[in-house]
Every structure is written in structure tokens, then in C-alpha cells.
Amino acid sequence: MSKAVHLEYYAKNLCFDPKPMSNDDPDRTKLLKAIALLERADKCKNKRNAEKLNAQALTAIMPLELEIHGRSILDDLPSRVLFTDENSDVSMQASGGGLRMSYSIRFSARIDSDVTEDTYEEYLGDNAWQWVGIRFASSGYEGDSGSSMSYSIRDDE
């Protein structure tokens, strides 16, 4: 019987600054639009209108993708996962002329049937992930407060 590993990747307080980005970078345009919408939402007295502006700010930076580089223990690990309403949670705020974002995104991969949670932990300790991160505004990226990956292993259905 095959198994699946269900993963959730969290990243906190990613900071993006549009100033160092090239004027012709399409992500800069998206970033500036999202910042303007978030600033308007922050000043909004009507909660419903603020929620709409926040949703528009998220739409402005879509599509977002998570880029994943892992190891061979996962049989069909995707190299990219598109953010959707069903698989992700994103919060954003305008901050000092830039954008601050936290997110989580969920995805799955098949895994060797011999792998257990103990074996998977050992794999993480020895090999870890090569690289996982968001594909957005890399030239405006300033830093973050860290990231983590949670998992559960279940029989594949």
C-alpha cells in the first residue's frame, strides 16, 4: 500500500520593498498596487469595505507560487504549487512603503510505503529540504521571520 505525506509550509513576515525593483518588473507593479490597496483598507472605517480592499490586494499579487526543491524520498513532490483559496492562507499589511506577508500553503506527495513518521524525521534531520520559497518580487525581498514545514503521513487513498 502506498502512503502520502501531507505537508504545510509556513512563512512569517516576509518583507518586500518595491524601491530596489526595476520599473519594468511586473512584480513591482503588482506590489505597488497591493500596497496602495492595503493602505486604503487600513484607513477604511467600514469593516466590509476594508475586507474587500484586502481581498483585492491579494488578487493584485496573484498568481503566487511556492517553489519546492526536495529530496528523492518523496515520489511525486511537485516543483511548484499554485496558491488557491483551498490550499493556502495569506495575510498582508502595508508597512513603511513596503509589504509584509505571512502565509501557509498545503500540498501532498506520495511517499515510499516503508516510510514512517520516525523515518521521515530522520530524513529531515539528515537531508532537510534543499530550498522552499515563494516565487514573487525576489529583487524586492528584504527578509522574513522564518519558516517551517509540518507534515503527516497517511495511507494513500
Domain span at residue 79 reads: 3-155
Q: How do strand 141-143 and strand 147-155 relate by DSSP bridges?
A: unpaired
pLDDT in tens, the chain (157 residues): 678 888 899 999 999 999 999 999 999 999 999 999 999 999 999 999 999 999 999 999 999 999 987 766 666 778 899 999 999 999 999 999 999 999 999 998 887 667 777 777 776 665 557 778 888 888 888 888 888 888 888 887 6
Number of domains in the chain: 1
Please state the pTM of the whole predicted model: 0.85
For every residue of the chain, which 3-state class applies, written as one string? CCEEEEEEEEEEEEEECCCCCCCCCHHHHHHHHHHHHHHHHHHCCCHHHHHHHHHHHHHHHCCCEEEEECCCCECCCCCEEECCCCCEEEEEEEECCEEEEEEEEEEEEEECCCCCHHHHHHHHHHCCCCEEEECCCHHHEEECCCEEEEEEEEECC
